[in-house]
Amino acid sequence: MANSKQYQRVRFDTGHHRRILVLMAIFGLVAFVPVAIRLWDLMIRRFDYYTIQALRNQTRSTAVSAPRGTIYDRNMDILAVSVAKENLYLDPRELKQSREDIEKISEFLASVLDADQNKIAEKAKNMRYRYQLIASNVEKEESDIIRQYINEQDIQGIHLEPSTKRYYPMETLAAQLVGFTNASNQGSEGLEAAYDKYLSGTSGKVVSTKGNNEMDMPFSLEDFVKTEEGCSLILTLDATVQACLENRLQEAIEKYQVENGAFGLVMEVDTGKVLAMATLGSYDPNAYLEIYDSTQAELLEQMRQDFMSYPQQSSQYLQGKEAYQKMLNDARLKQWRNRCISDGYEPGSTFKVLTLAAALDSGAIGLDDRFYCAGAEQIPGRSQRLHCWRSTGHGSQVTAQALQNSCNLAFAHIALSLGGERFYDYIQRFGVLEKTGIDLAGESGGVFFDRQIIVDTEKWGTASLTSASFGQTFKLTPLQLLRAISAVVNGGNLMEPYIVEEVLDADGNTVLRQEPTVVRQVISQETSRTMCSLLQSVVDEGTAKNAAVPGFSIGGKTGTSEKIDVLDEKGNPTLDKIVSFVGIAPMDDPQYIIIVALDTPSRDTGLYISGGQMAAPTAGAVLSDILPYLGVKRTG
Ligand SMILES: [Zn+2]
């Protein structure tokens, strides 16, 4: 209390000071010298010291996070923004009301906030802490009602303080990419997590000053520690392209009764800028804890009701609750997951693009070489006969036809001509063995063979080399595949993909700007040009005719892969399939690349499950939406 007494002395304002000086002048300085010295000591010399002591004792500080920066797409459309809200807290010591009044106040607040009156009353009576949070992010309508009540009733001790709430106006759009912030306003997924240090700004403290007698302090120290607003992000993402991609993927999910969702990407081939990145089913980051998939949500609700029907602490209750919480947690993690960068999958025949580019670039084969397919063949170094996907065979094919037919036997021979060493070196240079380095958290690097298993065919046989040549028995991420194929068509350059174009501070100054980065040149310009015409022939004449878009030259490659590692209840492979298509446009000067993949189309639709039948038309539909929007000129 010593400080408090000293504090009472310094509470004279400058008016008092002046009056004392006047008195001193009137009654003669001498008599007042000791007093004046003491006053001077307290008021001037030691002012800072007492101020700090007083502040330590009299202030309440509340950590307030700074407003997070905004996330914009490349057209400055808002994907994530912080909106101003208010927190409601009580100061029980200030309230100092009779029990009856506390009941009345609690009842009023509970009715406005739709909250538990007893809990509010409990907090209002708890004198241990002077900061009792009643509600975060109160809507303006409600805080206005509360403010009016405070004024009308003249109540001390009910406080509204500024806070911010994260809002995602585009809801499910690009949800896994954008991510969300947790209850403490920290980025926990997607860009919100990867760029948290830029977005979050500097947290501060709001310090309000009240003396022990609840009088206002003679000096005011608002914003004692100032908050610094977070930086904003401008993405390479285009919300319109993203919406086109998501809509077409959703259509395909419904049309082909796809059981396990879909994913897709759109990228600029020359720069590595990501225009769209989608994983479906999605979720709404405004309510990220809720399970967005309605079937899954109903199942969970059923589980919850089941265990709730047992007496608490019974074993059925406890086991049921544990199973429910595990399933809920898994479902949340699944809907938040960005499959384009986090999950490897078997690329299947889309990978043949890389094998062929390597074989042509190294000179291992030429365009006039012929490959014979009888439907099945005993390949040297493989223990079993290798079957082409077309059991009746493709007959004699030149190189372009082998790609158009997506002939597995031809590609086994192309891989053997190339040899394990060159194949592995090219695959490595195409970035298949490394992460792409995209500016997002949670990127995975895929799973590929050890070098010796591909290279040392004397010891390991040719099964791994030949299977890898047509995209089987290993995994990579959709983004890894897409950037590798971008290098095939863009003149040979492997790029580092990115999603944030620019980081701006609160005043609009550039803090960070990303430029396209060439990692390395993988194939020659000439090979790249050759590959472009071959890829166009796959859409014009081969397995990807369904991807054609009238008026635009499209190239691409289909893929159908079995999920070899997914087993049914008896431990047998389910033979579930991922069908995919990688498309490029326009082929005279490639600018955009797209991948769409559908995970496990139903066997009951009567349609043949293949990339050509399902993924190619889906990608074609996206391209027909976005190419005119992106300003690509029609050729006919
Ligand atoms: Zn064949």
The DSSP string of 190-213 is HHHHHTHHHHS-B-EEEEEEB-TT
- pLDDT tens-digit map of 599-616: 999 988 888 899 999 999
C-alpha 143 – ligand 1 centre gap (Å): 71
- pLDDT tens-digit map of 146-205: 999 988 888 888 988 877 889 999 999 999 999 999 988 889 999 999 999 999 987 655
Q: d(Cα 84, Cα 65) in Å, to the nearest integer?
A: 12
- pLDDT tens-digit map of 6-21: 333 333 344 455 554 4
C-alpha 536 – ligand 1 centre gap (Å): 20
C-alpha 146 – ligand 1 centre gap (Å): 75
**4 pLDDT exceeds 80?**
no
C-alpha 400 – ligand 1 centre gap (Å): 13
Query: Encoding tokens for residue 601?
Result: 């189309």
- pLDDT tens-digit map of 469-485: 999 999 999 999 999 99
C-alpha 410 – ligand 1 centre gap (Å): 6
Query: Which residues sit opposite 87 in a β-bridge?
Result: 161
**Residue linked to tokens 């806070």:** 163
For helices 99-113 and 117-125, give the axis angle rounded to 10 degrees: 140
C-alpha 117 – ligand 1 centre gap (Å): 74
C-alpha 66 – ligand 1 centre gap (Å): 61
Beta strands in 476-621 (DSSP E): 493-495, 500-504, 510-513, 518-521, 555-562, 577-585, 592-599
C-alpha 418 – ligand 1 centre gap (Å): 19
C-alpha 411 – ligand 1 centre gap (Å): 9
Residue 281 CA to chain centroid, in angstroms? 14
C-alpha 199 – ligand 1 centre gap (Å): 53
Task: Fill in the DSSP letter of residue 567.
Answer: B
pLDDT at 14: 44
- 564-602 as b/e, with b when 16 or more CB fall inside 10 Å? eeeeeeeeeeeebbbbbbbbbbbbeebbbbbbbbbbbbe
Q: d(Cα 569, Cα 134) in Å, to the nearest integer?
A: 49
C-alpha 389 – ligand 1 centre gap (Å): 7
C-alpha 144 – ligand 1 centre gap (Å): 73
The strand pair at 232-235 and 71-72 is best described as parallel
Sheet holding 577-585, edge to edge: 274-280, 262-268, 592-599, 577-585, 555-562
C-alpha 585 – ligand 1 centre gap (Å): 27
Residue 417: which residues within 8 A CB-CB, separation 6 or more?
Answer: 359, 364, 365
**276 pLDDT exceeds 70?**
yes
Query: Encoding tokens for residue 4?
Result: 């408090």
Which of 68, 167, 83, 69 is closest to 508 using CA atoms? 69
C-alpha 619 – ligand 1 centre gap (Å): 25
Task: Fill in the DSSP letter of residue 380.
Answer: T
**396 pLDDT exceeds 80?**
yes
Which of 556, 530, 382, 534 is closest to 469 using CA atoms? 382
C-alpha 577 – ligand 1 centre gap (Å): 20
10 Å Cβ neighbour count for 626?
24
Amino acid letter, residue 573: P
Q: d(Cα 3, Cα 7) in Å, to the nearest integer?
A: 6
C-alpha 387 – ligand 1 centre gap (Å): 8
C-alpha 390 – ligand 1 centre gap (Å): 6
- pLDDT tens-digit map of 546-581: 889 999 999 999 999 888 777 778 887 777 899 999
Q: Of all residues in the chain, what percent are helix, strand and coil, respectively (each to 5)? A: 45, 20, 35
pLDDT band at 215 (very low <50, low <70, confident <90, very high): very low
Backbone dihedral angles phi then psi of residue 502, each to the nearest 5 degrees = -150, 145
Task: Fill in the DSSP letter of residue 286.
Answer: G
pLDDT band at 60 (very low <50, low <70, confident <90, very high): very low
C-alpha 460 – ligand 1 centre gap (Å): 25
Amino acid letter, residue 535: L
pLDDT band at 28 (very low <50, low <70, confident <90, very high): very low
C-alpha 617 – ligand 1 centre gap (Å): 23
Residues composing the chain: 636
Cα torsion 226, 230, 231, 234: sign: negative
C-alpha 377 – ligand 1 centre gap (Å): 10
**Is residue 579 within 8 Å of residue 608, measured between CB atoms?**
no
**Is residue 276 within 8 Å of residue 241, measured between CB atoms?**
yes
Q: How far is CA 184 from CA 115, 168, 352, 537, 543, in A?
A: 21, 16, 47, 54, 51
C-alpha 260 – ligand 1 centre gap (Å): 29
C-alpha 396 – ligand 1 centre gap (Å): 9
